[in-house]
Amino acid sequence: MAFQDADWPLSIDDLTVGLTKAGVEPGMTMLVHSSLKSFGRWIIGGPAAVVLALEQTLGETGTLVMPAHSGDLSDPAMWSNPPVPEAWWPAIRERMPAYEPDLTPTRSMGAVAECFRKRSGALRSGHPQVSFAAKGPGAAAITDNHSLADCLGERSPLARLYDCGAWVLLVGVGYDRNTSLHLAEYRAAYPGKRQIVCGAPIVTATGRQWATFDDVDFCTDDFLAVGEAFERESGAVRSVKIGEATIRLMPQRELIDFAVRWMEQNRR
């Protein structure tokens, strides 16, 4: 049986064949956003098999990166899904456990990303809300010195990925999950851009504290439109199917440069 057979489970070998067809090559630095359910098929080994297939396709010289975001370590005043009573806010800010890279779980990143952030040898950046996990020769350079303020800007793993000519792989997810587009939000000049004050519990030299920091007020409402325009106009996106999942591979630098221009022309 082959992975094209709809009633047959997918193996690591099937996944590596599909990834290679998408253009993934040994030695790449690659940021992966994924949905395990999108494959629509039973995967032998589950999320661990997907991680292993990605590692095998990139080889020992490649660097694998995934988002390890933990958005629940944030100011309860900004929670809306679901909100909590305002009377609880002071207690949450005082008692919420501080971010610890080896302990804090991901939130809404998917089973593959949560599996990878616990991978032996993986490094995780130090931001309490939008950390990234990485494994491979470039992992330390990508995850080190992740700034608390402007968390997805010039002192973030996204900018380091841009610097090294990384690739973005979307596995069964759309451009609304393409975190790299946030870097374009920092770089683009558009009238509606504004700053907000964020909060999170962190560990300092003197112990746990509630930290506040400035950041861009992100907006993902147009990310699908940006991505569709990039695919249509650049011709730089390679796409294949593995099971029911659409796999898209694209150069991150070209994507971000395009998105900056698009946002400056279209955002208000």
Residue 3 lies in a domain: no
Whether residue 2 has pLDDT greater than 90: no
Residue 7, pLDDT score = 77
Residue 5, pLDDT score = 65
Residue with tokens 């709809």: 6
Whether residue 17 has pLDDT greater than 90: yes
Residue 222, pLDDT score = 98
The pLDDT tens digits for 20-70 are 999 999 999 999 999 999 999 999 999 999 999 999 999 999 999 999 999
Residue 227 lies in a domain: yes
The pLDDT tens digits for 211-226 are 999 999 999 999 999 9
What phi-psi label fits residue 86: left (phi over 0), alpha (psi between -120 and 50 degrees) or beta?
alpha
Number of compact structural domains in the chain? 1
Domain of 162 in residue numbering reads as: 12-71+104-192+223-266
Residue 16 lies in a domain: yes
Work out the mean pLDDT of the chain and round it to a whole number.
Answer: 96
Residue 1, pLDDT score = 38
Sheet hosting strand 132-135, strand order edge to edge: 123-124, 132-135, 63-67, 29-34, 167-171, 245-251, 238-242
Residue 41 lies in a domain: yes
Residue 87 lies in a domain: no
What is the value of pTM for the model shown?
0.95
CA 87 → CA 74, 135, 200, distances in Å?
16, 42, 18
Q: How far apart are CA 136 and CA 116, in angstroms?
A: 12
Percent of the chain past pLDDT 70, that is, above it, reads 98
